[in-house]
Amino acid sequence: MNLHPDYLLNEVNEPSDIKDMSLDELKQLATEMRQLVLERDAKIGGHVGPNLGVMELTIAFHYVFDSPHDKVIWDVSHQSYAHKMLTGRKLGFLDPDHYEDITGFTSPEESAHDFFEIGHTSTSISLAVGMAQARDLMNHQSHNNVMAVIGDGSLSGGLAFEGLNNAAKLNSNLIILVNDNQMSIDENQGGLYKGLKELRDTNGESPNNIFKFMGLDYKYVADGNDLQTMIDTFKEIKDIDHPIVLHVNTLKGKGYEPAVEEKMKYHWRTPFELKTGEDKVKVSGESYSDAVLTELDKQIAEDKPVVAINAGIPGAFDLGKFKAKHPDRYYDVGIAEQDSITTAVAMAQAGARPVVFQNSTFLQRAYDQLIHDMALNDAPVVMIVRGGAISESSATHQGTFDISMISDLPNIEYLAPTNVEEMISMLRWAINQTDEPVVIRQPEKPLLHGKPTQSDYSTIKYDIAHRGSEVAIMAVGDFWKLGEKVRKELQDKLNIDATLINPKSVTGIDSDVLHHLAENHDVVVTLEDGVLSGGFGETIARYYGPKGMKVLNFGAPREFADNVPTEVLYEWYHLTPKQIVDDIEQVIHSL
């Protein structure tokens, strides 16, 4: 049900519907849309601060420009809620029954006003340059505007700089709106922000200007939350015939005091009480992150030169606690994943013990640094990777490619613990060795307890948790519980006493165990919480390829899934215990 049938927004079906509105009406729209952002985010979670800060510039864009003929590309696109409300998707914000119809990012499937699915930072300038180049090549008559909107936080990612560098070569229309709210997800990091501050402090007049340095035109707007100012500014630069940077100062969280006060907390939130700001679902109890931080404390107490490195996402690992205790050992490089790995490599080679904290989906941006810097130099970096799990997430942030990304590279040991004690045992070993890079895949399922079965992981010995026959189940990391369930189901349904194995690693093969399995097993089943292509299961399938063993690999297919509930994905991918046992049964019957 539409919660606000009285809202002026109800009259807006197309951007053209706001073009005849008065300034007061446009301001009313901004107020309404802020309320809708808050209501929706409070109910289902989402980006708060980024959306509250860009109301005025979004309204002004659609008031002055002619979308989709004129094109706006939102960096990360987590700030595109207002854009969505003005481009035919208001019901996804007015009516809770339709909240889930609309994704949190731009989506060409939703609207002709969106051009790309985007969820990672720093891509918008390159995308805008590409659209401008295609326009110039194909439609010499058409003079549409192309605008990228990029936050100051996203500017620290190297790709943004590459984009700026090439934007300067254009001899045609391009608008790069730098939405400067003086924040990244967390605090901004690095020298770039000194320069931006000087520009703000001088009302854009400082002669030292990185954008002008690169040959780009430049204009500063001191109050990007003033609607009239933004309208006037856009009118002035509309149809400009060369690239310009519009440096716009805005307030992240504008209009909702808690979001202004606690900018990091309100960057992205799970559902919360709108009045008090409290989390609706409180997370309590033990966490893998806590256990990791406790172990790092111990290692530091033992005088190990441990440092913690992350790239703009301390919250994902609760690193605020580490920073408070060990400020001189804490490094947040900002949104700059490449730099986080290469710097860690150097620290490791110089004798420090860097522990890098990464999200699988963002680590993708440092693939060459994994190969050319970390693996090639065999640098004993320790890394914790989160998010490698089949789960309900935006396709933009799908973290299931990590096993292929990491385990197919030389020299790196990629460990997949099944419980917290095992994980800490692996972490302790990783910190105390200097032979190789070690990556640890942090489980995303509810915390399990267990007992590590080795303490030195330089040679992986698979743990045979239960010795049976006929079928051997290799359950990787997070999928340990699933392995236990499949074992039980095999017992109950087929009366098979299956072997259950914890392989611990997705790189090192224990060929001794694999060899001896052949003695009394016909089928080996692998279960991994990630994409099958390039994954652990294929390694086992290749090993047994020339031999008599049947191998069945379970995991995700090579595809994207956008906001599909985890349980549905499991059904689709044949990952329920029942489906798995049915598949095993088929193979057994074919023997």
Q: Which stretch binds its own copies (CB under 8 A): 32-40, 54-62, 186-194, 282-290?
A: 186-194
Q: Is 137 in the site for its own copies (CB under 8 A)?
A: yes
CB of 120 to its own copies, least distance (A): 5
CB of 287 to its own copies, least distance (A): 27
- Whichever of 136 and 318 has its CB closer to its own copies, that residue is 136
- Whichever of 161 and 572 has its CB closer to its own copies, that residue is 161
Tokens describing residue 237: 């630069």
Binding residue (CB under 8 A) for its own copies from 99, 367, 572, 573: 367
Q: What burial class does residue 403 get, using C-beta atoms within 10 Å of its C-beta: 0-12 exposed, 13-18 middle, 19+ buried? A: buried
Footprint of its own copies on residues 226-285 (CB under 8 A)? none
CB of 312 to its own copies, least distance (A): 11
CB of 468 to its own copies, least distance (A): 19
Counting residues that bind its own copies (by CB under 8 A) gives 120
Q: Is 365 in the site for its own copies (CB under 8 A)?
A: yes
Footprint of its own copies on residues 338-357 (CB under 8 A)? 338-339, 342-347, 349-352, 354
Residue 12 · residue 85 · CB < 8 Å: yes
Q: How far is Cα 118 from Cα 176, in angstroms, rounded to an integer?
A: 17
Q: Is 69 in the site for its own copies (CB under 8 A)?
A: no
Helices 55-64 and 23-44 meet at what angle, rounded to 10?
A: 130
Residue 74 · residue 174 · CB < 8 Å: no
Q: Is 399 in the site for its own copies (CB under 8 A)?
A: no
Q: What burial class does residue 305 get, using C-beta atoms within 10 Å of its C-beta: 0-12 exposed, 13-18 middle, 19+ buried? A: middle
Binding residue (CB under 8 A) for its own copies from 45, 68, 96, 195: 195
Residues 121, 123, 128, 134: what is their CA dihedral angle, to the nearest 10 degrees?
A: -150
Q: Where are the alpha helices (DSSP H) in 139-285?
A: 158-167, 192-201, 210-213, 227-237, 257-261
Hunting for tokens 């994980």 — which residue is that?
Answer: 423
**Who contacts 24 (Cβ-Cβ below 8 Å, separation ≥6)?**
none
Neighbouring C-alpha atoms within 13 Å toward the C-beta of 358: 31
- Whichever of 210 and 447 has its CB closer to its own copies, that residue is 210
- Whichever of 129 and 319 has its CB closer to its own copies, that residue is 129
Binding residue (CB under 8 A) for its own copies from 43, 45, 68, 161: 161
Footprint of its own copies on residues 475-504 (CB under 8 A)? none
The identity of residue 578, as a single letter, is: K
Assign residue 504 a region: left if phi > 0, alpha if psi is -120 to 50, beta otherwise?
left
Q: Which of 424, 438, 414, 430 is nearest to 508 (CA)?
A: 414
- Whichever of 188 and 225 has its CB closer to its own copies, that residue is 188
CB of 102 to its own copies, least distance (A): 18
The identity of residue 579, as a single letter, is: Q
CB of 570 to its own copies, least distance (A): 18
Q: Is 307 in the site for its own copies (CB under 8 A)?
A: yes
Instruction: Catalogue the E-assigned strands of 387-496.
Output: 413-415, 438-441, 463-466, 470-475
CB of 39 to its own copies, least distance (A): 29
- Whichever of 59 and 347 has its CB closer to its own copies, that residue is 347
Binding residue (CB under 8 A) for its own copies from 270, 364, 433, 491: 364
Footprint of its own copies on residues 71-110 (CB under 8 A)? 108
CB of 42 to its own copies, least distance (A): 29
The identity of residue 129, as a single letter, is: V
Q: What burial class does residue 133 get, using C-beta atoms within 10 Å of its C-beta: 0-12 exposed, 13-18 middle, 19+ buried? A: middle
Residue 176 · residue 164 · CB < 8 Å: yes
Q: In residues, how long is the chain?
A: 591
- Whichever of 331 and 479 has its CB closer to its own copies, that residue is 331
- Whichever of 209 and 505 has its CB closer to its own copies, that residue is 209
Residue 524 · residue 549 · CB < 8 Å: yes
Binding mask 104-133 for its own copies (x = CB under 8 A): ----x------xxxxxx--x--xxxxxx-x
Q: Which residues pair with 306 in a beta bridge?
A: 353
CB of 243 to its own copies, least distance (A): 9
Residues 81, 83, 85, 86: what is their CA dihedral angle, to the nearest 10 degrees?
A: 170
DSSP 320: H
CB of 495 to its own copies, least distance (A): 21
CB of 33 to its own copies, least distance (A): 27
Binding residue (CB under 8 A) for its own copies from 95, 162, 290, 318: 162
CB of 484 to its own copies, least distance (A): 22
- Whichever of 144 and 433 has its CB closer to its own copies, that residue is 144
Buried-state track 422-435, b at ≥16 Cβ within 10 A, e below 16? bbbbbbbbbbebee
- Whichever of 118 and 424 has its CB closer to its own copies, that residue is 118
Binding mask 521-560 for its own copies (x = CB under 8 A): --x-------xxxxx-xxx-xx-xxxxx-xxxx----xxx
The identity of residue 442, as a single letter, is: Q
- Whichever of 27 and 298 has its CB closer to its own copies, that residue is 298
Q: Is 327 in the site for its own copies (CB under 8 A)?
A: no
DSSP 373: I
